[in-house]
Structure 1
């Protein structure tokens, strides 16, 4: 039981750390898209890159610990847990979102951004909705 609790606690800890970065990075994009100052833009380029590279290991640890939890519970539990299949799908979408952030950081770095601050404000809501649904699935297990 102790191993299970540690796995769960670490999984949640790294998920929180990952989401903190995923919530903040698009806010940097908003500021970057709306600035007219080259000095501010250059500063934001560094912040965006450092933040993305800082939270990426948290994403990998979250996924790795999630896989360890599935392994710990066993194959029969995995097959029977229909809520988990939807959660995994949402995590895959979030990983795609995270990967797309690498492209956006590159676009900003190369001064090729074509999107507005409004786009990034809306873009910022996607992980919020994913988190809300994941928490619903994990704690209420509706299926």
Structure 2
């Protein structure tokens, strides 16, 4: 089970690396001048590829997490409130991944109405999410 846990951590960290960087691409896209088509297309290509790759990492991380959960014993969930909170935050991370796809589509359709500052704040949400998930998994505060 330690191998599964180790690979779960590796894939979760890799998935979040994608979630850290994808909104940075959005910051840059929001700052691209309207007449800079080549730069815009390059950033969109990077965003699409990063989204697909981080989606793959997410699927593997979730599969390994389910394997750990089954090994932990679903029947042992009673009183494991840290795990309930962690799973809720994981659902939030999955939702964040899908929201990133929606923002990417808006950039593809030239429909973005948000500023680069908004995307800078949006980018910081992943740091808070990642930190909370790690603290819950390691410290198990409740």
Aligned equivalent of 1:72? 71
Q: Is the 8 A contact 1:87 1:137 kept in 2?
A: yes
| 120-129 vs 67-76, greater mean Cα deviation | 67-76
Q: Distance in 1 between matches of 2:133 and 2:76?
A: 18
Q: Distance in 1 between matches of 2:59 and 2:83?
A: 18
Q: Distance in 2 between matches of 1:113 and 1:31?
A: 12
Q: Distance in 2 between matches of 1:104 and 1:95?
A: 15
Query: 2:25 matched to 1:28?
Result: yes
Aligned equivalent of 1:18? 15
Equivalent runs, 1:1-143 vs 2, <5 Å: 4-36=1-33, 37-143=36-142
Q: Is the 8 A contact 1:90 1:130 kept in 2?
A: yes
Q: Distance in 2 between matches of 1:89 and 1:136?
A: 14
Shift of 1:35: 1.1
Size of the aligned set, in residue pairs, is 140
TM-score by length of 1: 0.94
Note the residue ranges of structure 1 that are not aligned, 5 or more in a row: none
TM-score by length of 2: 0.95
Q: Is the 8 A contact 1:30 1:120 kept in 2?
A: yes
1:83-138 alpha-carbon deviations (Å, 9 max, x no partner): 00000000001100100111111111111111100010000011100111111111
Q: Is the 8 A contact 1:23 1:124 kept in 2?
A: yes
